[in-house]
Amino acid sequence: MAANGIASIGECMLELSGQAGPNWRMGFAGDTFNTLWTLHALSPDRPATYVSAFGDDPFSRDQIAFFAANGIGIGNSPVIAGARPGIYAITLTGAERAFTYWRRDAAARQLASDPPGLAKSLENQELIYFSGITLAILDAAACKTLLSAVAAARKTGSLVAFDPNYRPRLWPSREAAQVAILEALAVTDIALPTFPDEQMLFGDETPQGTARRLGKLAGEVVVKNGEQPALIAVSGDAQSIEAVHVARPVDTTGAGDSFNGGYLAARLAGHAPAEAARLAHRVAAAVVQVRGALAPFETLKSAFDN
């Protein structure tokens, strides 16, 4: 079978957003799912798989049904009796967001509990994507299982993309995060870091410093930096790509994730890295003009195609 699928590995949570007095809207989101959502919107002919672990409660069933209704499968991800999804709530000050989480016993922490099933989910994938949050929710043994599965898929031809996405509260220590993230970068083809994260985690002084450091580990590096230009470094050659300015953003949730999805979709479509970054900036700019982490497919397609 030809390898033309896209798979993303991690945790999709229940998202509570759109606060208006006592009223909240519930949806489904999480960094790696947000990226897959964008990828799938922009690459609809490629089978899309979200690799995780799920509970057997009504919310988990609704989550899986939501994926299916939007053309996204779960591969051989385990469904675990008695488990349930994590939850987070978004509170906004203007367009800037803050998050409150309830996720310590989330089913996704068991996503590597069935190694043969995990390996099966990663078969025949042209692209595999995961993040530092994926690593942070796993214990050391599960991380090793995951990275072994990713490395095996890479050996059979899958392209691997990784966003370190450092969230200090999820890690027992900064040193533990450094070790795990460096191990992930060792099996990565495209690294998609965010400069403030790398500055906090590794002490990088500039985006150029991040690009040079990660360029020793991955052949293609895209350093995101909010509204500042993205820095693209391929085999040591660096280029700065201006962001798209949005005068009045509505909600910045998922902007970096959608940039990743836009960039990877463009690369899969054959665009050069610099053009892929330009398209990704346009996608991210569209996303910050809607509420919640998941923009409608039509919004994403319009930003990418026009």
Amino acid at 184: A
Beta bridge pairs of residue 102: 87
Coil vs helix vs strand at 206: coil
CA separation for the pair 127, 9 (Å, rounded):
11
The pair of three-digit structure tokens given for residue 214, joined into one six-digit string: 């990660």
Q: What amino acid is encoded at 94 in this protein?
A: G
- Which of 31, 197, 251, 257 is labelled catalytic? 257
| Catalytic residue status for 257 | yes
* Number of CB atoms found within 10 A of residue 136's CB: 23
Q: Which residues are catalytically annotated?
A: 257
